[in-house]
Structure 1
Amino acid sequence: MAGALLVAGCQQEAQGSTPRAASGQKPAPAKPPSDDITAEDYPMQPLPRGYVRLKDAYGGVHRVEVEIAATQDARTRGLMWRKELADGKGMLFLFPEESVQSFWMRNTLIPLDMLFITSDLHVAGIISRAEPRTLTSRSVGLSSQYVLEVPGGWTEKVGVKKGSVVEFEGVSGVRVVP
């Protein structure tokens, strides 16, 4: 019996799991959260939510639940580090005024469709299936005040096209910060 206890003790020590070793170690100090808005571990605050309704080429309406990016930090962070984005979900970027917008996909892990929307709520143009993890500038070259990001390929699948009419729900109360 003493031999069995000695063998068991040696095995525990070899595995580094003796009660003495475990109780004598202090846990590693917690790493402070990053202050870099583009870092994966940045503690982003929850964003306001609303809905975007888009009319397709056949007269149907598609409602997308969106997170609303209305501040510089939220617009910079966007959908970085997201591993998925379900159909019917997206992010709506609000800008203080209409101008030619351009987006890149730094730290964005999934392909996205980008719908550039005018101040009079029409789709000015669409970038389809933007390639993830690139710094390529993407723009439709036309003025827009809003940009809606949805899962890559979604606009083709539902028939939303350039010129489609857009409506917002629950967005008017969100303050746009330059």
Structure 2
Amino acid sequence: MSGRGWARALWAVVGLASFQAPEARDKPVAAPTRTGTDVTAKEAVGPKLPRARVLLEGADGVVHGVDVEVAATSDARTRGLMWREELPQGQGMLFIFPGEEEIQAFWMRNTLIPLDLLFINAAGRIVGIVENAAPRSLVRRQVGIPSRYVLEVPGGWCQKTGIKRGGTARFQGLEHIRVSY
């Protein structure tokens, strides 16, 4: 078939594929539905998250360790710390985002406890902190600077430890954790 013949055949197929019977043209099209469990639902139970450690250097030069659960998948990042009733000092959740650094924004929907959010770039520099994010809020929390990681710790922890923007973070135990979209 010539190039022109292929083009005509393709247009005929496209035309047939997009044809709608007259009675179907005026009916609303249903939005696609998400299959599976809503990971933000209180009763949703996800897989056990991998663990790692983040070492943060405070303004006084003291290094503070945080044992973290690692949210490296879309579902784990979506769920985050929702529905948790406590987060002990020295513990947190590290969100790792795939691809290039981007401006990250978080909300506190279904989050029952105040949190400090530390935004960390790929080089391990703390590029911004949101302190004491209010629970159960839909306000978008961001620092306006691209980051690859966000560390959530108990509210007030940064003030207590002297961790500030510009500090450094080192990660232990991330080598074998697969990050996905």
TM-score computed with the length of structure 1 as normaliser: 0.80
Q: Which runs of 5+ in 1 are unaligned?
A: 1-33
Q: 1:83 offset after TM fit, Å?
A: 0.1
Report whether the alignment pairs 1:143 with 2:146. yes
Equivalent in the alignment of 2:79: 77
How far apart, in 2, do the equivalents of 1:100 and 1:158 lie? 25
Aligned residue pairs: how many?
145
2:101 match: secondary structure: strand
1:85 match: secondary structure: coil
Q: 1:35 offset after TM fit, Å?
A: 1.4
Equivalent in the alignment of 1:103: 106
How far apart, in 2, do the equivalents of 1:134 and 1:59 lie? 34
Q: Superposed, which structure 2 residues align to 1:1-178 within 5 Å? A: 35-96=37-98, 97-178=100-181
How far apart, in 1, do the equivalents of 2:96 and 2:151 lie? 9
Amino acid at match of 1:69: A
- Answer with 1 or 2: which has the greater Rg: 1
How far apart, in 1, do the equivalents of 2:130 and 2:116 lie? 6
The percent identity for this pair of structures is 56
Moved over 6 A (4+): none
Q: Which runs of 5+ in 2 are unaligned?
A: 1-35
Q: 1:43 offset after TM fit, Å?
A: 1.3
How far apart, in 1, do the equivalents of 2:103 and 2:96 lie? 13
Residues 81-113 of structure 1, C-alpha deviations (whole Å, 9 max, x = no match): 000000000000000131100000000000000
Instruction: Name the Cα RMSD after superposition.
Output: 0.9
Pick the structure with more strand per residue.
1
TM-score computed with the length of structure 2 as normaliser: 0.79
Amino acid at match of 2:54: V
